[in-house]
Amino acid sequence: MQPLHDDLHRTAHERQLDLTRRRLFALGGKTLAAGIGTAALGSLLGRQALASTSGPERHWAPKAKRVIYLHMEGGPSHLDLWDYKPDLRKRYNQDLPESIRNGQRLTTMTSGQARFPVAPSMFQFTRYKNRQDGVWISELMPHTGSVADELCFLHSMHTDAINHEPAITFCQTGHQQPGRPSLGAWTSYGLGSANANLPTFCVLITQGIGNMQALSARFWGSGFLPSEHQGCRMRSSGDPVLYLKDPAGVSRSDRRAMLDLVKEFNAEESAASLDSETRTRIAQAEMAYRMQMSVPELSDLSDEDDETFALYGEDARTPGTFAANCLLARRLSERGVRFVQLYMRGWDQHNNLPGEMRAQSKAVDQAQAALIKDLRRRGLLDETIVVWGGEFGRTVYSQGDLSETNYGRDHHPRCFSMWVAGGGFQPGISLGKTDDYGYNIVERPIEVHDLHATMLHLLGFDHEKLVYPFQGRDYRLTDVSGKVVQEIVKGSVA
Amino acid sequence: MKLTVLSLLVLVASCATPSGDAPATTVEMAAQARAALVHVEQPDPGSPLLQVDTAAIADSVDDVKARSLLAPLASQIVDLSLARTHVSAASADWLLQCQSLRRLDVRACTRVDDAFVRAIVALPQLEELVLARTATTDASIDALLASSSLKRVWMWKCAVTPAGLARLAARDGLLVDAGLRPSDSSAEVEPKPEFVNLLPMPGEPALEAALVPINVNCPVTGAPVDAKRTRTVNGRVVGFCCNNCPKTFDADPAKYEAALPKP
């Protein structure tokens, strides 16, 4: 019998060839064409043998090897964090001019409001040095400000969706309707695993302080891609991964013997049915077996010193906090995990924005800055893409009552801010501008598809060519859209 | 020069097969390394060179294991991570066969020391060297300075002194990262925000006076006007007592118009 982990290393291409070769053998080599075909396949296999360990061949040499995506679920207010609009303070409580809103649809949470009073941010901003003439960041994010020279701000993101569910689905899968593979699944499919002892795509969730929206597992699903590419959620309490421990009385050698036997059955089934999911099943069982050893080592923070906790904040000692998850993300990345998806819930500040934003920001600011610093000093930042952002922005007008110390903001898809860092992104710059009200984009609009296209570009893929055939159509992460944002790619002539 | 010729030979040897293809022996060796859970991939489709990472089995990798798994691939490795393994200067001899190596990551390899660094800086293509959390000291600085190919070195938590780091960082074209950050990265802080309602609405006359409400009492309730709750009604600035009154006003403007002062 072949060594067990072989299945894991078989490329999708090899699996496809296997299928084709079996079909050719089924023809019995009766025709000359079939014979030639078999020979050609043999040589193809040789060509592929050194390509990436799974999935399709890269289109060019990548700048990044992995991704950490910090998704701020709920849609944090760009106006109170990153998009500096000091002149708005002279328009406090004025009505938002119709020329600015311009008929933009509103959610039903504010469409019935009599007025749309301008709510300037009550937070003080500081200009931090970067590689341009500095970037203005709110007092809520001082630690993040301290690494501004590593960050690339995108002030002109926009999305099509106005409510959480479709907007998060769009950010995570490139499509508003559920069912497509997530960004992490595409990355796993494209890059394959770089550490056969851990899942290629891991998901870490932090419960926020503010209003929280549902977080469905399909945000990290694999859609029509083989299910080995779905994200593996790591839990914050109890076992990080469920059902990983052997039950009492089952030894590791018993487990091995059981897996070997089941694998034999599955291999027979796979040979008969050619069902790729059976192979996935074998590979996943083997992965789980190895994770019994690798996950406890991963989640054991006893080898982290006090300096680490000083850097990330003492919160990092409490599992499930954003700080602990940032630290875990670093540990996963340094072990070669391709895609780490963090969710920070609770950024949906319809009311009581100032108080909730203070608490939310305090929970993420130090840790996300620490992640940047820590990746950098370990030589990992250059090859790791870090993305920070929500699914949309928030309105400049107040939802509900406006006072100098309290206001709320509704969903705003027309513009929002994100930042990216490392992995071949241009550090220390800002791109794109919004109007005086932070309501419309006036310079260099960037759609979600563009960000996805740029991320794939840095990972070595042409987003128009990284496809997966499903139901008669070649599907892409970027569907029929997306342009690489050359201005933010390091070393690129924009 | 000798090294350049050597690397050229390696390149010629590796290009013996058409672009992107690897010799059969390398394919076998790569398969062997993968079977031991070493990550081996060909990142650039236009080049036969390999990226190798031992992350999955780092804790079990020592000099003997590293040599047996990776030395056969040496001439084709362009990017090698041995991070968190137990390799030491005893691995230097086979590492020196990695003539195409551009990036070497020995982060957190506590047995990597000055002897290791002194040996591997002879690699002719080595541009990036991650030495963070290794046992290297100031005795490595001269060796690092002697390399003509090095562009970036990471030395966070090594036993190197600030003076040693400064000497290294002074070298043109060499970026040194020792995990130090500028103590103050802020350039200016804006004054404490104050909210006023001063600017005219777009398209209105740019007169501050234009924003003083024409009424003293709210047209809906008769209560005193809150100066912050104003809006324009037919070109006039009308003040209200609270946020709810404009809604009531809008529902029947004619009814409340009478309560406003005549021009």
Query: pLDDT for A90-101, tens place per residue?
Result: 999 999 998 898
Give the residue from A382, A147, A387 showing the smallest Cα distance to B130.
Answer: A382
Distance CA A243, CA A38 (A): 43
The alpha helices in chain B, defined as continuous H runs, are 2-14, 24-35, 63-70, 92-95, 114-120, 141-146, 162-169, 245-251, 253-257
Mean pLDDT of all residues in chain B? Answer: 85
User: Quick check: B79 pLDDT over 60?
Assistant: yes
CB A371 within 8 A of CB A332: no
pLDDT of residue B203: 56
Give Cα A437 distance to the centre of its chain.
Answer: 29
Q: What is the pTM of this model?
A: 0.83
pLDDT digits (tens, 9 = 90+) for B113-154: 999 999 999 999 999 999 999 999 999 999 999 999 999 999
Q: Beta-carbon neighbour count of residue A285 at 10 Å?
A: 17
Q: Do B30 and A6 touch (CB under 8 A)?
A: no
The tens digit of pLDDT for each residue in A58-80 reads 999 999 999 999 999 999 999 99
Model confidence band, residue B76 (pLDDT cutoffs 50, 70, 90): very high
pLDDT digits 0-9 by tens, A319-358:
999 999 999 999 999 999 999 999 999 999 999 999 999 9
Per-residue pLDDT, B31? 92
pLDDT at site A65: 97
Q: Which helix (H) or strand (E) holds B229?
A: strand B226-233
Strand A446-447 and strand A151-158: the pairing is parallel
Q: How high is the pLDDT of residue B201? A: 61
Please say whether the beta carbons of A182 and A173 come within 8 A: yes
| A132-141, A189-198, A210-219, B135-144, range with the lowest pLDDT | A210-219
CA dist A314 and A258 (Å) reads 43
Contact B132 A379 (CB under 8 A): yes
d(CA B179, CA B130): 12
- Can you tell me the distance from the alpha carbon of A178 to that of A189, in angstroms, rounded to the nearest whole number? 19
For B198, the closest chain A residue by CA position comes to A90
C-alpha A341/C-alpha A388 separation (Å) is 11
Tokens read off for B215: 């009424």
Do residue B34 and residue A9 have CB atoms under 8 angstroms apart?
yes
> Which of A96-110, B153-167, B199-213 has the lowest average pLDDT?
B199-213
Sign of the torsion angle spanned by Cα atoms B51, B55, B57, B59 = positive
What is the per-residue pLDDT across B20-63, written as a single tens digit (0 to 9) for each? 555 667 888 999 999 999 999 998 988 899 999 999 999 999 99
Cβ atoms of A378 and B154 within 8 Å: the answer is yes
Judge whether A55 is closer than 8 Å to chain B, CB to CB. Answer: no
Number of neighbouring beta carbons within 10 Å of residue A308: 15
**CB-based burial label for B5 (10 Å; 0-12, 13-18, 19+):** exposed
- Residue B207 tokens read as 């007169």
Cβ-nearest to B35 among A5, A58, A86: A5
Q: Provide the 3-class DSSP secondary structure of residue B132.
A: coil
Q: Please, what is the angle between helix A448-458 and helix A183-191, to 10°?
A: 20
Q: Which residues of B touch A6 (CB under 8 A)?
A: 35
Average pLDDT over residues A248-269: 91
- Cross-chain residue pair A51–B56, CB shorter than 8 Å: no
Question: How many whole angstroms separate alpha carbon A490 and alpha carbon A492?
Answer: 5
Instruction: Say yes or no for a CB contact (<8 Å) between A335 and B43.
Output: no
User: CB of A45 within 8 Å of any CB in chain B?
Assistant: no
**Kind of pairing between the strands at B128-130 and A232-234:** unpaired
Q: What residues of chain A lie within 8 A of the CB of B22, using their CB?
A: 49-50
In B, minimum Cα distance to A63 occurs at: B43
Cβ contacts (< 8 Å) between A122 and chain B: which residues?
Answer: 193, 195
Q: Tell me the pLDDT band of A464, cut-offs 50, 70 and 90.
A: very high
Please count the residue pairs, one from chain A and one from chain B, whose beta carbons lie less than 8 angstroms apart.
196
Q: What is the 3-state secondary structure (H, E, C) of chain A?
A: CCCCCHHHHCCHHHHHHHHHHHHHHHCCCCCHHHHHHHHHHHHHHHHHCCCCCCCCCCCCCCCCCEEEEEEECCCCCHHHHCCCCHHHHHECCCECCHHHHCCCCCCCCCCCCCCCEECCCCCCEEEECCCCCCEEEECCCHHHHCCHHHEEEEEEEECCCCCHHHHHHHHHHCCCCCCCCCHHHHHHHHHCCCCCCCCCEEEEEECCCCCCCCCCHHHHCCCCCCHHHCCEEECCCCCCCCCCCCCCCCCHHHHHHHHHHHHHHHHHHHHHHCCHHHHHHHHHHHHHHHHHHHHHHHHCHHHCCHHHHHHHCHHHHCCCCHHHHHHHHHHHHHCCCCEEEEEECCCCCCCCHHHHHHHHHHHHHHHHHHHHHHHHHCCCHHHEEEEEECCCEEEEEECCCCCCCCCCEEEECCCEEEEEECCCECCCEEECEECCCCCCEEECCEEHHHHHHHHHHHCCCCCCCCEEEECCEEEECCCCCCCCCHHHECCCCC
Contact A144, A421 (CB under 8 A): no
Instruction: Please write the tens of the pLDDT for every residue from A103-140.
Output: 888 888 888 888 899 999 999 999 999 999 999 999 99
What are the CB-based long-range contacts (under 8 Å, 24+) for B204-209? Answer: B204/B232
A452 vs A208, which has greater pLDDT? A452
Q: Are B252 and B246 in contact (CB under 8 A)?
A: no
Tell me the C-alpha distance between A444 and A424, whole Å: 20
Over 90: is that where the pLDDT of A257 sits? yes
Overall average pLDDT of the A439-445 stretch: 96
pLDDT in tens, A17-34: 454 544 444 434 434 343
Between chains, do B189 and A149 touch, taking CB under 8 Å as contact? no
pLDDT of residue B227 exceeding 90, the answer is no
Rounded CA separation A480/A446 (Å): 15
CB proximity A114 to B under 8 Å: yes
Distance CA B184, CA A396 (A): 31
Residue A282's pLDDT band, with cuts at 50, 70 and 90, is confident
| Closest residue by Cα to residue B82 from B8, B118, B133 | B133
**Burial class of A234 by CB neighbour count within 10 A (0 to 12, 13 to 18, 19+):** buried
Whether the Cβ atoms of residue A313 and residue A175 lie closer than 8 Å to each other: no
Distance CA A214, CA A345 (A): 9
Extract long-range pairs of A395-398: CB within 8 Å, 24+ residues apart: A395/A110, A395/A116, A395/A439, A396/A79, A396/A85, A396/A88, A396/A96, A396/A118, A396/A119, A396/A437, A396/A438, A396/A439, A397/A96, A397/A110, A397/A115, A397/A116, A397/A117, A397/A118, A397/A119, A398/A116, A398/A117, A398/A118, A398/A119
Q: Who contacts A377 (Cβ-Cβ below 8 Å, separation ≥6)?
A: B132, B154, B156, B157, B177, B178, B179
Selecting from A50, A92, A147 the residue whose C-beta is nearest the C-beta of B228 gives A92
Helices A12-26, A32-48: crossing angle, 10 deg rounding: 160
Cross-strand bridge partners of residue A85 = none
A86/B193 Cβ within 8 A = yes
Interchain CB distance below 8 Å, A115 and B247: yes
Question: Which value, in Å, is the radius of gyration of the alpha carbons in chain A?
Answer: 24
Whether residue A448 contacts residue A418, with contact meaning beta carbons closer than 8 Å, is answered with no
pLDDT at B182: 72
Mutate to test the interface with A, among B26, B29, B32, B39 (most CBs of A within 10 A): B39
Question: B-contacting residues of A 152-181, CB under 8 Å?
Answer: none
At how many degrees (to 10) do helices A276-299 and A252-273 cross? 150
Half-sphere exposure of A12 (CA within 13 A, CB side): 21
φ, ψ for residue B35, nearest 5 deg: -60, -25
Q: How many Å apart are CA A458 and CA A426, to the nearest integer?
A: 11
Q: Which of A265-274, A411-420, A422-431 has the lowest mean pLDDT?
A: A265-274
Instruction: Select the residue from B21, B40, B41 to test the A interface by mutation, using most A Cβ atoms within 10 A.
Output: B41
Instruction: Return d(Cα B235, Cα B239) in angstroms, integer.
Output: 13
**B22/A60 Cβ within 8 A:** no
Q: Are strands A416-421 and A409-412 parallel, antiparallel or unpaired?
A: unpaired
- The whole-number pLDDT of residue A7 equals 41
